[in-house]
Amino acid sequence: MDSAESFVSAVLAAQDDFNLCYVLEQTAPTLNDTLAQQVKSRANELVSSDNQASLKIAESLIKAGVVANNLLYQALGLMVQGNVMMRRGELQRAIELYDDAKVAALRANNPIEAARSQVGKIGALMYLGDYKSAIEIAQHTAETLVAFGDYFPAAKAYANAAICYGELEQNEKAVEELQKARTLFEKHDSREAQTGLGLLLYNLSVTLCDLGRYHEALDCSLRASEIARRYELSNDEALYQEASAICYSLMGNYNRALRLHLEARDIFEKNGLIPQLIACEYFISEGYLELGRYEDAADQAKELISLLEQRNLVNSWNGTRTYHVLGRALAGLEQPSEAAAALLMAQSIAEQLGASGFKQRTDLRLAETYLSTDNPEDLDRSEELLNALLSNPQDLRILPNAQLLLARLETNREQYSAAIELAKSALTQFESQGIYNTLYSVYWQLAKICEQQGELNQASDYLDLSIQQLEQLRAQVAAETRHSFLLQKETIYQDAVRIALRFNDSQKAFDLVERVKSRALVELVGNQLDIKIKIRSERDRPLVEELENLRARHNDLTMRLARWQDGQDDKGELVPVASNENQNESELLQSEVLVCEKRLIELTEILQVKNALYAEDVSLIQSYISFDFGLLNPNEAIIEYYQAREEMLAFVVTRAGIKAITLSATPSQVNRLVSLLHQNFNQTPKLGAEKLLLNSQNFLSKLYALVFEPLELELAPITELRIVSHGTLHYLPFHALYRPSDSTYLLERFSEISYVPAAKLLLSCRERAKNSTASGALVLGYSGNGKLTSTLEEAEEINCILSRKIDTELALENDANLELFRQAASSKRLLHLATHGSFRENAPLFSSIQLEGGELTAHELYNLQLEASLMTLSCCESGLGVIGGGDEVMGLSRSCLYAGASSLALSLWRVEDKSSSQLMQLFYRNLLDGMGKAAALRQAQLWLMSEPQYRHPFYWAPFILIGDSGSL
């Protein structure tokens, strides 16, 4: 045997045990201690990239030791086996192997290798949370190795001791050990020394991060990643990326942090690295907290806890961290009792581990949870915890966070001087530590104190600073995650709007509203951000292919589910809907649909985060530009509604300027009336229109008095209205508001009424319509197995109307399929879909339009490219959506606008087939006569309203026009 590489090659080439035995019989006698050490080194190198090969080499070394009667070979092989088991997460087995290696080495009279064998054991004990034992072994091992002049493994022992000190949050001691190790590592230029240096830099990064030295920590982790990349150690690179991601998150670069975590998770999962995977999942769930995605964080934490329970690892470092995340998530979901229980569990585990620093972090979150209640006993508990933290903070991050919470408590008690002192001290600490993701909260707290003291100018300045910081953070989040990020932070804008109006500054108040309202959609459309799912690099290919396969499966499952719910099995045979067989199969299919949808959302998010480079380049952050009301027509007004805490506001925007009006209505009043109105609409088909007409007019007149009548004086010369709704008002048909004094609906008094999610989107939609090069129309009619026969008649009639002046493609039933829409829709100027629609309140991205071959979902529409001047979804509830942060309406309308449609005709409730069909026919006739889209819809609604059987708004008012109101 002339080299270690020859031995390794021969072993790996052996196809079976017989061949391996032959190889060992030939090679073992020629091995020597030096070659065996080289074989061990090569096997260790493969642990990161191919641990199966590493394990085979290790087993061969042990067998070679038996053949050659050399206990040192066996010790070396056992050490490699221990390293492989470590990577696989089989920690107890790893410890047994390291101890067996020590015994074998001592029997071989080799105390150096006996000491080296314990270096890996330190790591295993660390993963098990037994840090004190790990430190004791590390110190003894390092001293032994240094005494024999074996500096490189001694450096490893120092590094492992540092890790343990770090986990026990004795960071200064950890830094001391790391510096000892770094000095020893840098004495060697070998691959093994450099990879050891990479691991050391990773641990140094983690420690520096705990000390609040984030930029230094980031430099260390990035250098460690470079080393791992140089030697193609993908597992190590993923681990080091985790450290960089933590730094980025604390510095407010959320998208970069989440992207790095997701990339690392892929590698850990692929290679079965369970301990690293668990830690990575924890960091991802912690990232969800920063993004305001509390349900996702709670779900992920619960899944992690289940995994830890299966592996009997709950009472570990990962256990206390995961319960900590669960508590914070439940607090964000406004479940204080459940949150406190989870945090107390985290506290208990931290105490068992001796992790006093992490226990303090848990105490901090407990104090915050208690502070969120109105219970005097909880407030006392909060104060007690916070004072204890301030008296002896063991983590630099604890002090400013505790001060900020105490400032909140003192503000509630009207102890303003103390509150300001605490908040300003917290601000200084956060700035000095470079913790940028909390600054907005400090400025907000200072603004609250100043407002309560009547210092409105100072309050306004602090709110401006808070919003500036918040928008810096928000810009570093992937566009489709920004609505959740704002969900519990929007009150900052509300406070700023209120104070601006107290200074009678309508322009500033309106700008603030526009800076938050549907801002993500405004940026997606206005800045042409590309969030479509496509292969942008080879790394995307498997994800995109899986997503496309899942879409096909989702279509298949939803079609099968629809058949079963109609009383037919997969073969088309009748199965009574009430039968056990039908109900069981339907429940099974529903469950499979939900699993499929969950994975579709996961894949979409991963791809969007990976490709959201616009959120990682600070230079791309754009300043807000005020809405130019001079671009409005002289007879046109935007009415933009907004809720600022318990105040309801309306902004009347005309070419002449902006007027802000505070409404006397309360949100609860409006919510109740809108709910009653929709109950009336739902009952109309059952109880009769005539019976419920007066009842509907009663609700509509009350809503008119609350949300529109106060604006009348500002609208005297106006004939065209553009409504920007807010909250529950998105479900209100403003055109149907009823004025009892002259028995007229709003529709009768204005020549146009259209809707738009935000004022800025109105201009974007107009620009789109103006620049569209699409032509022709696509008309689809699908009855859903004969359940909606009028949709076919509607499609045929509309095709007949349109084809007189427009090249029109008509497809009915089986021809009205998903594939046709995907291929043809992008080139059409007008799209009309007469079919069944479904609004999914629990999953708005899967609100859908039924076509042959499956559902056209909001999720898929995001990925299409449209140029339609008008897209009409003539089906039930196509205009509904779930209201997210920033008043983003999540549903079909949002996805169609992002896909490129200039305007949409959508419904706000379940429509009646015949009246809907007649309305649509009239609508298109008016369009072809040259009317604008809003005017054409209005005329059709007026005609339908004049028919005795359709006088109830249920029949004539469900459809609204969103976006550009001009002609086709």
Neighbours of 952 (CB within 10 A): 24
Contact (CB, 8 A) for 682 and 689 = no
Of 199, 209, 339, nearest in space to 283 by CA: 209
Of 79, 112, 108, nearest in space to 96 by CA: 79
49-53, 268-272, 372-376, 749-753: lowest mean pLDDT where?
Answer: 49-53
Q: C-alpha angle with apex 315: 312 to 317, nearest 5 degrees?
A: 110
Contact (CB, 8 A) for 234 and 267 = yes
Residues contacting 285, CB < 8 A, separation 6+: 296, 297, 300, 301, 304, 322, 325, 329
pLDDT at 628: 85
pLDDT at 480: 74
pLDDT at 903: 96
User: Residue 417 burial by CB count (10 A; 0-12/13-18/19+): exposed, middle or buried?
Assistant: exposed
The per-residue b/e assignment along 129-150, b for 16 or more CB within 10 angstroms, e otherwise, is bbbeebbebbbebbebbbeeeb
Of 192, 170, 172, nearest in space to 40 by CA: 192
| pLDDT, tens digit (0-9, with 9 covering 90-100), for 781-834 | 998 878 888 889 999 999 999 999 999 999 999 999 999 999 999 999 999 999
Most confident range (mean pLDDT) of 188-197, 265-274, 900-909 is 900-909
| pLDDT, tens digit (0-9, with 9 covering 90-100), for 301-340 | 999 999 899 888 899 889 999 999 999 999 999 999 999 9
Helix runs in 311-415, H state only? 317-332, 336-353, 356-371, 376-391, 398-412
Is the C-alpha dihedral spanning 959, 963, 966, 968 positive or negative? negative
pLDDT at 417: 95
Q: How many residues would you count in the chain? A: 968
| Structure tokens that stand for 79 in this block | 């050490």
Average pLDDT over residues 59-84: 86
Of all residues in the chain, what percent carry a pLDDT higher than 70? 98
Average pLDDT over residues 910-933: 92
pLDDT at 525: 81
| pLDDT, tens digit (0-9, with 9 covering 90-100), for 726-782 | 999 999 999 999 999 999 999 999 999 999 999 989 988 999 988 889 999 999 999
The residue type of 385 is L
Q: Is the pLDDT of residue 885 over 80?
A: no
The per-residue b/e assignment along 300-320, b for 16 or more CB within 10 angstroms, e otherwise, is bbeebbebbeeeebbebbbbb
Question: At 614, is the pLDDT very low, low, confident or very high (cuts 50, 70, 90)?
Answer: low
Q: Is the pLDDT of residue 423 over 90?
A: yes
SS3 of residue 453 by DSSP: coil
What stretches of 687-781 adopt beta strand conformation (E)?
720-724, 738-739, 744-745, 752-755, 777-781
Sheet holding 777-781, edge to edge: 657-663, 647-654, 636-644, 720-724, 752-755, 959-963, 903-907, 870-874, 830-834, 777-781, 808-812
Task: List residues bridging with 657 in a β-sheet.
Answer: 654
pLDDT at 622: 62
Instruction: Please tell me the distance from the alpha carbon of residue 518 to that of residue 169, in angstroms, as a whole number.
Output: 43
Q: Which long-range contacts (CB under 8 A, 24 or more apart) does 930-933 make?
A: 930/967, 931/967, 932/752, 932/965, 932/966, 932/967, 933/754, 933/870, 933/903, 933/905, 933/961, 933/964, 933/965, 933/966, 933/967, 933/968
The per-residue b/e assignment along 459-468, b for 16 or more CB within 10 angstroms, e otherwise, is bbebbbbbbe
Q: Is the pLDDT of residue 9 over 80?
A: no
Q: Is the pLDDT of residue 227 over 70?
A: yes
pLDDT at 617: 64
| pLDDT, tens digit (0-9, with 9 covering 90-100), for 539-586 | 888 888 988 999 899 988 888 888 888 888 888 788 888 888 888 888
Per the listing, tokens 């696989």 go with 88
Contact (CB, 8 A) for 257 and 209 = no
| pLDDT, tens digit (0-9, with 9 covering 90-100), for 664-716 | 999 999 999 999 999 999 999 888 888 899 999 999 999 999 999 999 999 98
Of 832, 855, 835, 858, nearest in space to 847 by CA: 858
Instruction: Please tell me the distance from the alpha carbon of residue 947 to that of residue 475, in angstroms, as a whole number.
Output: 52
DSSP letter string, 762-792:
HHHHHHHHHH----SEEEEE--TTTT-HHHH
Instruction: Please tell me the distance from the alpha carbon of residue 135 to that of residue 195, in angstroms, as a whole number.
Output: 22
Q: Is the pLDDT of residue 620 over 80?
A: no
Instruction: Please tell me the distance from the alpha carbon of residue 568 to that of residue 566, in angstroms, as a whole number.
Output: 6
* Residue bearing the bigger pLDDT, 708 or 433: 708
For residue 765, the Cα-to-chain-centroid distance in whole angstroms is 27
Of 896, 833, 825, 870, nearest in space to 965 by CA: 870
Average pLDDT over residues 242-268: 88
Residues contacting 24, CB < 8 A, separation 6+: 11, 60, 63, 64, 67
| Structure tokens that stand for 64 in this block | 């070679």
pLDDT at 200: 87
219-228, 382-391, 608-617, 634-643: lowest mean pLDDT where?
Answer: 608-617
Q: C-alpha angle with apex 125: 121 to 127, nearest 5 degrees?
A: 115
Q: Is the pLDDT of residue 951 over 60?
A: yes
Rg (the chain; Cα; Å): 33
Of 611, 610, 599, nearest in space to 530 by CA: 611
Average pLDDT value for the chain: 89
Instruction: Please tell me the distance from the alpha carbon of residue 501 to that of residue 853, in angstroms, as a whole number.
Output: 53
Instruction: Please tell me the distance from the alpha carbon of residue 235 to that of residue 242, in angstroms, as a whole number.
Output: 11
pLDDT at 472: 86
Per the listing, tokens 């801002």 go with 519
What are residue 623's phi and psi, to 5 degrees?
Answer: -75, 150
CA distances from 588 to 62, 558, 584, 601, 842 (A): 52, 12, 6, 20, 18
| pLDDT, tens digit (0-9, with 9 covering 90-100), for 468-526 | 998 888 888 877 777 778 878 899 999 999 999 999 999 999 999 998 888 778 777 87
pLDDT at 790: 85
Q: Is the pLDDT of residue 621 over 60?
A: no
pLDDT at 943: 96
Instruction: Please tell me the distance from the alpha carbon of residue 105 to that of residue 238, in angstroms, as a whole number.
Output: 33
Average pLDDT over residues 949-965: 95
pLDDT at 418: 95
| Structure tokens that stand for 856 in this block | 């056209």
| pTM exceeds 0.85 for this model | no
Instruction: Please tell me the distance from the alpha carbon of residue 657 to that of residue 639, in angstroms, as a whole number.
Output: 12
Provide the 8-state DSSP code for 752.
Answer: E
